Amino acid sequence: MKPGSRQVTAPPLYLGLDASTQGLTLQALDVEGGAARLVFEHTISFDRDLPQYGTRHGVLPNGDARVVVAPPLMWVEALDRALAALASSGLDRTRVGAIAGSAQQHGSVYLNAAVEPTLAALDPRRPLVDQLAGVFSRAVAPVWLDASTSVECAEIASAMGGDLIVARLTGSRPFERFTAAQIRRFWKADPEAYARTTRIDLVSSFLASLLAGRGAPVDPGDASGTNLMELSSRRWSAAALAAAAPDLDAKLPPIVPSSTVVGTLAPYWQRRYGLPAADVVAWSGDNPCSLIGIGLVEEGRVGISLGTSDTLFGPMQTPRVDETMTGHVFGAPTGDDMGITVFSNGSLARERVRDACGFDWPAFSDALRRTPPGNGGALMLPWFVPEITPRVTAPAVHRLGLDPADGPRNARAVVEAQMMSMANHSRWMGVTIAAIHATGGAAANREILRIMADVFGADVYQVPVGNSACLGAALRAWHADARASGREIAWTDIVRGIAEPIAASRIRPVAANVRVYAALRERYARFEQTRVKSG
């Protein structure tokens, strides 16, 4: 097929990319017959496959543990390799209809005036990475793990009238990893390099720009991770920009709805890999993309990920902000908002209790089966490491009416505490939770999910684990492409059969247990409050 033409005869393929902290994944979906099917997946691990960049777990080792940065050129090379892998996969790549992406949130890429002409004149005979070396005004990109900007957060809050004002305006109080504080720190450290910077991308818009061959906009999902976007209007806030750094307005890409087609695959990709002029859809953050990838497209359903940390997230039709300022509001790909609250004492705390009791996971589950819901009123505050929600700065484990030597009751206490904390600290979303899609390593444990169902008074489902952010991106590509050609498909149809929980995994709440926890949740909240205050 001639480069530039798009004569799709068979139903199109949709591509999703996920640029996460440690690697880049590409998935291809075939949507023949109106149901999406995964037909290709390829992952490039930064440490393993691109060792020349010297990363560990995808970031550069640094003497100051608070400083966490990555080389953006590594992402450039990974993108080239991912599409090379697709080209040699045997799939009919002329069928590619659209491509969208997901990226780790908050990270920023600093570019100079050479970027636009360079992107417009990419030579398909040479690797991308060789052509882009000169476009950066800063060789490294700070990523979400960076915690070096406490001073800048305080300066931004003070300039804008306080944390709560920033939270109400942008969806989150100033956080160290959020882009505003990162930009401010760069401007303070190197004003000349800042002045040479003509464009500041998020990881998402940077990679979308490479695909489109010109500067791509950001979507509200990722823009809401900057502390710079006014949530209500989905525009950059003049007050927030002024508090961060000078002339910032001119350096940021515009914000467009997530379903916007921002361009077509640049000639570089067409000629180098035989791809068609497929739509490039605005990229978003990994959390908004995961919302789609685990089928959370209607208010009333939330996701709970039980991983290293525990996270609760879900769509919100009515925008609300967490006035206690631990939760975040991001734009959702559906055009709604999403709430997300992170709890640092997740699997780590469960493992600490499991090990202290001398249990393995089957024995831990058995202890949960043998102890009564509500634990006879015994409570634990399981802050084995500093906690994000509620904000607890030093580790502290408190017990009430609980013998530390009683293994089974401690096992129940840690899980009940985590579930009650998640239920209490997600009230700010104002969402009536009818169903929970559980993911992450500990979601394999149905005894834990039983407590989840009873504490929340909601049905709990297991969702097949996989790369939900990447799948969400590929489904977004399908949705946006259909919409652009005037055949809008409902989100519920987009996720059907591929990003849905396993129906047979449903755990229903038991009414009597729900009553026990309704009372215990209030007691837990009071116990927590006294310890947060005194601690």
- Minimum CB separation of residue 313 from ligand XUL in Å reads 10
Residue 310's binding partner, choosing from ligand ADP, ligand XUL, none, with beta-carbon cut-off 5 to 8 A by kind?
none
Does 444 engage in binding with ligand ADP (CB under 6 A)? yes
> Segment near ligand ADP (CB under 6 A), from 166-174, 246-254, 320-328, 441-449?
441-449
> Segment near ligand XUL (CB under 6 A), from 102-110, 125-133, 151-159, 498-506?
102-110
> Segment near ligand ADP (CB under 6 A), from 62-70, 200-208, 267-275, 438-446?
438-446
Q: How far is CA 9 from CA 12, 251, 478, in A?
A: 8, 41, 16
Q: Which x/- pattern over 211-250 shows residues binding ligand XUL (rule: CB under 6 A)?
A: --------------x-------------------------
CB 18 within 8 A of CB 289: yes
Three-class secondary structure of residue 204 per DSSP: helix
Q: How many CA atoms lie within 13 A of 526 on its CB side?
A: 5
The residues near 365 (Cβ < 8 Å, ≥ 6 apart) are 445, 446, 447, 448
Alpha helices by DSSP H, 44-190? 46-49, 72-87, 115-120, 128-132, 150-160, 163-170, 179-189
Q: Which x/- pattern over 320-359 shows residues binding ligand ADP (rule: CB under 6 A)?
A: ---------------------------x--xx--------
Total residues interacting with ligand XUL, rule: CB under 6 A: 9
CB 134 within 8 A of CB 117: no
Does 445 engage in binding with ligand ADP (CB under 6 A)? yes
| Closest alpha carbon to 479 in 469, 471, 491, 467 | 491
The residues near 450 (Cβ < 8 Å, ≥ 6 apart) are 368, 460, 507
CB 171 within 8 A of CB 224: yes
Written as one letter, the residue type at 479 is: H
Three-class secondary structure of residue 178 per DSSP: coil
Distance separating alpha carbons of residues 527 and 334, to the nearest angstrom: 38
Residue 106's binding partner, choosing from ligand XUL, ligand ADP, none, with beta-carbon cut-off 5 to 8 A by kind?
ligand XUL
Residue whose CB is nearest to ligand ADP in the complex, by number? 441
Phi, psi of 175 (to 5 degrees): -115, 150
Does 176 engage in binding with ligand XUL (CB under 6 A)? no
- Please identify, using beta-carbon distances, which residue of 262 and 342 lies nearer to ligand ADP: 342
Does 285 engage in binding with ligand XUL (CB under 6 A)? yes
- Minimum CB separation of residue 173 from ligand XUL in Å reads 13
- Please identify, using beta-carbon distances, which residue of 185 and 521 lies nearer to ligand XUL: 185
- Please identify, using beta-carbon distances, which residue of 366 and 406 lies nearer to ligand ADP: 366
Residue whose CB is nearest to ligand XUL in the complex, by number? 105
Does 105 engage in binding with ligand XUL (CB under 6 A)? yes
Return the axis-axis angle of helices 446-456 and 361-370, rounded to nearest 10°. Answer: 40
Distance separating alpha carbons of residues 223 and 217, to the nearest angstrom: 10
Q: Considering only residues 27, 102, 104, 334, which one is a binding residue for ligand XUL as defined by CB under 6 A? A: 104
Does 102 engage in binding with ligand XUL (CB under 6 A)? no
Residue 442's binding partner, choosing from ligand ADP, ligand XUL, none, with beta-carbon cut-off 5 to 8 A by kind?
ligand ADP
Does 441 engage in binding with ligand ADP (CB under 6 A)? yes
Strands 279-281 and 69-70: unpaired
Three-class secondary structure of residue 214 per DSSP: coil
- Minimum CB separation of residue 327 from ligand ADP in Å reads 19
Binding site for ligand XUL (CB under 6 A): 104-106, 144, 177, 225, 285-287
Binding site for ligand ADP (CB under 6 A): 307-308, 347, 350-351, 361, 440-442, 444-445
